[in-house]
Amino acid sequence: MPVGQFRVAHVGLGKTASTFLQKRFFSEIDMPVFSTDPSSHWPEELNWLRSINRVWMKDFYTERLFWSRKEREAYFCAQVDQARESWVLSGKEFVEKSGGALLLSAEGLCGFSIPVAKYIGNLLHDIGIEKIIFVFRGQADWSISLWRQLILAEDRFARYVSFEDLFGNMSSDGKCAPLDMDWMGYLNSYREIFGAQNVLAVPYERLVHEAPMFFEEVSRFMGVKSKRLPDFSQRENLSQEDNFYLAWKMGGDSRLLRAYPLRMLLHNKKRSFLSLCFKKEPITNFNHDFRIKIMQHFRDSNQELSNQTGYNLASYGYF
């Protein structure tokens, strides 16, 4: 392996310009890159990634009522623990076959929760990954962007899921919600597994406002040089800005009507006669007060995150 190069995983978060980085930045570095971008190649030996993330959110796909956090964690552990040995073996096979420095880039490597991030982080460590790049984002903007992507753009769960069902209502400790937004919790997990010196946690806002510095820091951490720096104004995979969700007028909870292929067909044809089957479901009002509530909920954690990473997160609107 060349001096200064490592086996690295860029783990997300989702909605932090991962597609842009994969297409326009990572593709220009002198290092084998494996990503989930359709134009790239994701190793067959690591296909367990999709299975792990789906297990965590299984009730959103198949159940009428959502699980409690305790039920979710119990189900997740029971399902993934029995497959862990085979996943480690297949992952080691891929890394050994690669023979040197490499970069894995996939938002799913982080998942949407601290337990999933920790579980996959341990898998990555055990198969030979040495360093982690964790790009985070202000919780208010991130959660709204992700909700729009999952529910409005993708219709990921083939039904309407409220913001509160995914992220909680910010009035409790959030233990019932399936998605975690305490970035300090993620960072602590990665540092425990890989060591603090082997984890780069960098804010998405650094890329937005100071792109050259972002690229320099990431390149230095990986021990590589980029052939050219990309133009960040050429954005990818922007969130949908619709202010409504197309729901079934009748019987939308049936398994047939929630079948993903049918939902995708109707979703893509929503401006044709098929749209007569739908009603517009109003969505959460993401106003200023709503954003302030989220920021206040994570204020203490974000202040600690700012201290730990060395970035002035207050200047990026985190608190």
The enclosing domain of 71 has a CATH number of 3.40.50
Q: Any idea how long the chain is?
A: 319
Determine the number of helices (DSSP H) and then strands (DSSP E) in the chain.
14, 7
Cβ(66)–Cβ(160) below 8 Å: no
More confident residue, 136 or 255: 136
Q: Are 232 and 211 contacting, i.e. CB atoms less than 8 angstroms apart?
A: yes
Task: Decide if 206 is inside a domain.
Answer: yes
Segment 154-167 shows an average pLDDT of: 87
- pLDDT of amino acid 293: 93
Q: What is the mean pLDDT of residues 209-223?
A: 95
Q: Does the pLDDT of residue 248 top 70, yes or no?
A: no
How do residues 238-247 score in pLDDT, each as one tens digit? 555 566 676 6
- Which of these ranges, 76-80, 149-153, 237-241, has the smallest mean pLDDT? 237-241
pLDDT band at residue 3 under the 50/70/90 scheme? very low
Q: Work out the mean pLDDT of the chain and round it to a whole number.
A: 87
Tokens representing residue 101 in the block:
């420095």
Q: Please say whether the beta carbons of 24 and 156 come within 8 A.
A: no
207, part of any domain: yes
In a domain, 198, yes or no: yes
Calculate what percentage of the chain has a pLDDT beyond 70. Answer: 81
Give the total number of structural domains in the chain. Answer: 1
Token pair for 313: 């997160």
CB-count exposure of residue 198 (10 Å: 0-12, 13-18, 19+): middle
Residue 156 is predicted with a pLDDT of 87
Structural domain that includes position 30: 7-139+179-239+299-316
Residue 164 domain-assigned? no
Alpha-carbon span 263 to 290, nearest angstrom: 30
Is the pLDDT at 234 greater than 60? The verdict is yes
Q: With 90 as the cut, is the pLDDT of residue 196 above it?
A: yes
- Model confidence pLDDT, tens digit, residues 283-319: 777 889 999 999 999 999 999 999 999 999 999 999 9
Q: Bigger pLDDT: 37 or 275?
A: 37
Domain annotation covers residue 310: yes
pLDDT at residue 244 in the model: 66
Is residue 250 in some structural domain? no
β-pair type (199-203, 102-105): unpaired
> What ranges make up the beta strands (E) of 19-112?
33-35, 102-105
Asked if pLDDT for residue 236 goes beyond 80, the answer is no
Element (H, E) at 9: strand 7-10
Number of other residues whose CB lies within 10 A of the CB of residue 66:
16
Residue 212 scores a pLDDT above 50? yes
| Residue 246: predicted pLDDT | 64
209 within a domain of the structure (yes/no): yes
Domain membership flag for residue 199:
yes
Question: Closest Cα to residue 204, out of 311, 106, 121, 319?
Answer: 311
Look at residue 252 in the predicted model and tell me its pLDDT.
Answer: 52
pLDDT band, very low/low/confident/very high, at 1 (cuts 50, 70, 90): very low
Q: What percent of the chain has pLDDT over 90?
A: 64
